Amino acid sequence: MPDQEPIVVVEDDDGMRRAFERVLNAAGFHALVFASAEALLQSSAADSAACLVLDIHLPGLSGFELRRELARLGAGQPPVIFITGQDEPSARDQAEALRAAAYLPKPFAGRTLVDAVTRAVGGTA
């Protein structure tokens, strides 16, 4: 059974956010979803997250900036999966520099997300 600490998802697209929440919950995870980096920062959800799934291109703070800010605030260092609809070599390099558990260009299958989260939290996919 996957870990019950929350999988925190930050995705600004409403439909994608709901889809990620449904897929992760159906796989046995407890997904907490946020529409922006700022909304996550106003909560304490990152403090207990088993994994962060962060869209790179968000309004306001980007997923990369959010990751750096959470580290600066001492919110722990849960594994991070970066997702993006704009796959670019520089984004891949930045994700690697931030030690991302995975980098997923959209569109991707729900199973791909579940497998990445499972690996990130130490399970088997």
Residue 66 reports pLDDT greater than 90:
yes
Q: Return the axis-axis angle of helices 14-26 and 110-120, rounded to nearest 10°.
A: 60
The domain over range 7-119 is classified in CATH as 3.40.50.2300: yes
The whole-model pTM stands at 0.93
The DSSP letter of residue 101 is S
pLDDT at 90 over 50: yes
pLDDT mean over 69-82 = 88
Phi, psi of 25 (to 5 degrees): -65, -40
SS3 sequence of 7-30: EEEECCCHHHHHHHHHHHHHCCCC
* Domain chopping of the chain, boundaries: 7-119
Predicted local confidence at residue 74, as pLDDT: 80
pLDDT in tens, 14-28: 999 999 999 999 999
